[in-house]
Structure 1
Amino acid sequence: MSTELYRRTMEWAARKLDADGIALQHKVWDATPWMVEVYTGRIGEERDGDMRLWCEDAFGDEAWPIHGRPGAWYRGGATVHGWTWFGFETEEMMERFLAAWPEPVADGPVQ
């Protein structure tokens, strides 16, 4: 199983990339197909760092699939306007992450 974001990512890769690019997308995301797009803020800011530390505490070291390091979660390498993809090995892990890191409300506090 996986999320709609994972399925759309792989469909996009199949339409737009060559065989090497498709293989790379699968290498990056296949082990963590429970993908979500979440607000992290800018790279290196407090929320981004806190999210990474939370994942490490909850799920262990981050996967680095391109470099052969397995893991149960992965933070995508691109952040656009404060939004970043995270992938998880299981739906339960993804749901736990989303519960801990809800999308900030414009007039509310940001974690």
Structure 2
Amino acid sequence: MIKAAGVDEVTDATFEDEVLRAGLPVLVEFTAAWCGPCRQLAPVLSAIAEEERGRLKVVQLDVDANQETTVAYGVLSMPTLMVFRDGEPVKAMVGARPKRRLLAELAELADVR
């Protein structure tokens, strides 16, 4: 998995506590080591995690090592970005995107810029 700086990794074992029970909206990147677009997205996720700290939690989940969560949310393509609020997925986006576009998509959600 390509680790984005400043972005925590979650697993099947920690997903419920770290994502579903989080007090903030959570942006989850479903990623894999072999995924080229995921590498492109890493610096974008790092920047958003820093800029939105306190309003949005950003985490990554390695799909190869965490099949249970990947299957549970029907993730088929990498990267898939999914926003969770109050334990429920509220938005899903597939594919890498520039920071400006991702922020605009996140802005559609009330709690994030």
Instruction: Please classify the TM superposition score into its range, dividing by the shorter chain length.
Output: 0.3 to 0.5
TM, length-normalised to structure 1: 0.33
Higher strand share: 2
TM, length-normalised to structure 2: 0.33
Higher helix share: 1
Larger radius of gyration: 1
